[in-house]
Structure 1
Amino acid sequence: MRLEIQCEDRIGMVREVLDLFVPHQIDIRLIEADTVRHCIYCGFPDIEFAKLQQLLGELRRLGGVQDVKRVTFTPSEREHNALHTLLEALPDGVIAVDLKGIITMATDLAAQDLGVPITELLSRPLQQFIKGVSFAKVTWDDIVGGVSMRIRIRNKALLLEMKPIFVPDEEGNANPAGSVIHLKSQARLDRQAANFKQAPNAENDLAQYFQAQVSQSSVMREMLHRAKAFANMPEPLFIQGEAGTGKRDLVRALFQYWLAQQFDQTAQLIIRHGRDMHLEEVAKLDHLNGWLVIEELEYLSPDVQVALANWLTRRPEFSTSFESNCRIVSLSTQPQSQLISQYGLNRTLYFALSGLFLQVPSLKERREDLAGLLQQTLQAYAERYGVPMPKVSKGALLKLSLYSWPGNHKELQNVCLQTLSVSQQGEWQPETICLPEDTNKASLVLLDGSLDKTLKHFEATLLKSLYPDHPSTRKLAKAVGVSHSAIANKLKEYGIH
């Protein structure tokens, strides 16, 4: 049991408080004074309710006492457990010793490295477990900044780092009080580095999405211009685009763009799939601070659609940050006509959500951005997996540019990852890249009732497929057995560069 006694800060206050515990024969296990909050904390075993009521009354009648109440823990207990939780979360084993090298604290990871249970470590000399290293006070006489050394325990190499503990006295002099030892293993360091590389780089979403090299196409520049204009508006935003076009990445980038201009930095970005939205979440929207993103809007249940439409309808036409802190952003791969006719989306809800509309272009519509997206994707994967950044030949880039990319940016990422995994050395050539069969290529049919148009279309398709393997007019001319000038004219005519 813990009591918090708020009282005056005066000499003799603690003794007067403790004297009241003696007649009740209460065994005080803990006493703590907080001079900042003017509180005394007492810890003792649980007592009968009647005795507790009597004790509380006596404490409240004591001169200088303002309030007495039960608490779950004292400030020092909270700090101790917070420190313990922090140390256990570290990727390294941590041990603390006093001036004599006696272990006063150790984490589970340190005990695992030493191969000894924590209960057998405490109050024992650390030198019993780590031979050849002195952990006594003399270690810190001349080494104020700490030391590092390689050690071997149980046939495992570890990096030992020691830092001194200093406690200042009343005159501000730093007095040695012991040391803290970190035990680092190569495996844990590698795992930590790998986790760092593989973790999503949220702060870079904005910079990467708006890079000039990935927005060379006019359709992408127009979409980003509209997106920035809509970012700071409180109205709902509807984003439509084919699967794999990066709608979620766009939302994250826009949220960062918006958040950077807000005074309140506590706003959250919450992403939910339509199937996971329930009535309880709609009821909490009035208390949400940030953006709620609903993916695959068409999968909202009918009752959630009605509740969300009602919530949007009762919002004021011109809202302010004081009236509502929640913005709804909805995503879908389906066009408007199918959302309403095929999926039965509530018409009121659709028009309430689509006051602001963005169409994310497909990769086929932004072929000018392919080279920039390729370099950005390869750089990210090379950093994540610790491999060299590959070079891409002109032929390989042309092969990628002639592909129809039905899976859009996501498919490009998949192809880059697969190719990087099997070909980490040298320059990428057309044969290095394995692409699925392009089912979007046009079949041979008579075009506009004209044999000439049909033959030209076939000739253009054939030259496009051959050019990646022979990426120059001279090589292609030699491959098909025609003159260099004839091939150059045909490539110019068919727009093959």
Structure 2
Amino acid sequence: MRLEVSCLDRVGLAKDILTIMEGYSINLFAIDASNQGFLYLQFAEVNFDTLSELLPLIRKVEGVNDVRTVSFMPSEQEHYALKTLLKTLPDSVFSLDAKGKICIVNESALLTLGMSEQEVLDEPLNHWIQGVNFSRWLSDTLVLPQATRVTIGENEYLAEMLPIYLPDGPESSILAGAVVSLKSPARLGKQFNALQNQSSGFETVLASSDKMKAVLTQARRMAQLDAPLLVTGETGTGKELMARACHDASMRRDSPFIAINCAAMPDSAAEEELFGYVSKGSVVKKGLFEEGNGGSVFLDEIAEMSTSAQVKLLRFLQDGCFRRVGGDEEIRVDVRIICSTQKNLAELCQSGEFREDLYYRIHVLSFHIPSLRERKVDVLPLTEMFLEHYSQQLSIPIRRISAACREHLLEYAWPGNVRQLKNAIFRAVSMWDGHAELSIEQLKLPSYAEGFGYFDEEFEGCLDEAMKQFEANLLRRLYPAYPSTRQLARKLGVSHTAIANKLREYKISKPKPA
């Protein structure tokens, strides 16, 4: 129970109040007089009758204006606010006494050291951190703030060291200890980029593997050009992220970036969404191309665009003009078209599902984003990046990745690529159970084998049907590149007659000439 006493600053006032409480055998836990004009008392719970007698007696004390019960004392609020702040900080923070021993430590610091609170309290910080002698620094005649590079094991950090001085009179102070915070090079880099605010967009794309570094090199060059760009890759590889990065690195960066999901647009509304709508001579709705004038328009999953919208898009790419639905006026806008697809557009052209002339219009510049399976080197850095991001976002201490979890992450096939990894980390962090390490169980990844799919999906059909489906898909992929039965037969190492029979059986027609 806590009381707030509104009172004057009188010598002996607190003693008079404590005498009254002593008469009721009340055990006082704490007294707080930090706020001028108020005195706070914390004591064991008393029943209603006792409290009803106690409060009037305290009000009668000379200098007391009023007394009431409160939920907490100011010192408690400050203590728990500081505790919450330390708990949620992603940086490792230590509070040292004047001899360099740890007296307060936050959870991020414990995770960095891999120790429990009981193991580190009242121990010198130099047991774990090399690069600076904290006790020698605190023993100097004048202790000044410092920032220096230190190491914990094989990892480097920037240590910010701030002395704690307590006032001891009008012009003097006493050194009580210090606060030491550790920042990793990765966090420092992010803070610097945020401060500079000069990110071109590619800084948001993590690339440790040679394959992804080569893609970034290509993309940076193509970003500066103003021709149509086609980005290909499996679902979840980050095609929109790369398209936006190309826009941010281009001369159009200060103009709009409009992203359109072609798969989400119904055929009946596709043209109106893209080109606008006119009714009775007046503009009812501007199209997304008009809204993106001067910037970039990103057509995600272009293979899903309706046939009629493909025709109008083709004409727009030819001369930069279009007409709104229901209108006669020629509209000219200046936009760069960036498209993406996870499908093989060449195959779709062969089957007549995508216009071949449009394919050549959008396929001026292109790059392919490899799947996560093809760049396993990026898996652990991406995991650590997502783990740090979501831990900060959800105010949960950053955790380590267990050795078993690291191995599992590298062995998993990742059919959903980076998006699947990102979602798995978000789910694990949001369902945090207090463990210091990220485990395999927390990821909850469904069992998957590359080339076979999820284990828990039941296969329907027979082996012969599966073999035929594989054979047909392989021929459809290769036929555009080897556009005669003899060339295709030579490539696959079979007879010309066998290939001709297979193409006839699977109704695969001869590729149209470019």
TM-score (norm 2): 0.42
TM-score (norm 1): 0.43
